Amino acid sequence: MNKKLALTVGAVILSGSAMAQSNAQASVKRMNEAMDKPGLEKSKEYSKKEIMKVQSELKSRGFEIDIADGIMNKKTMNAIRKFQANNNLNVDGQLNQSTLQKLMADKKRSYSE
């Protein structure tokens, strides 16, 4: 590969990386602005162990969770959304304090129905 082509390829890669970073920053900004709206509860950072407990609890109640691995993935967020909807909580798929309290309040009762 000649030097001119290598420099051009490098420039394209760098500009794509900068664009991806800019898009990610814009997404974070929109998410933060949405979370600052009245009536929305901010999510805190949960440990892998805490997320595993939530996944296990959701799975035991019949929500679709493949494995309790402590990773907040699409299935986990969908299960949280369904749980929130079934329990008259704000439906956002985020693990927040009110969702966690409701989920852990009565472990014997199933909310997936």
| Burial grade of 84 (CB within 10 A; 0-12, 13-18, 19 or more) | buried
CA–CA gap between residue 78 and residue 66 (Å, rounded):
12
State the Cα–Cα distance between residues 60 and 56, nearest whole angstrom: 6
Percent of the chain with pLDDT over 70: 54
> Domain residues for 92?
48-105
What local confidence, expressed as pLDDT, does residue 37 receive?
46
Least confident of 22-26, 37-41, 77-81, 93-97: 37-41
Any domain includes 24: yes
Q: Is residue 43 part of a domain?
A: no
pLDDT tens digit string along 62-94? 999 999 999 999 999 999 999 999 999 999 999
Asked if 96 and 42 touch (Cβ cutoff 8 Å), the reply is yes
Give how many domains the chain has, as a whole number.
Answer: 2
Which stretch of DSSP H or E encloses residue 3? Answer: helix 3-35
Q: Are residues 101 and 52 in the same domain?
A: yes
Q: Is the pLDDT of residue 46 over 90?
A: no
Q: Look at residue 38 in the predicted model and tell me its pLDDT.
A: 45
Distance CA 55, CA 69 (A): 8
Give the residue-averaged pLDDT of 53-70: 94
Q: Is residue 111 part of a domain?
A: no
Whether 30 shows a pLDDT value over 60: the answer reads no
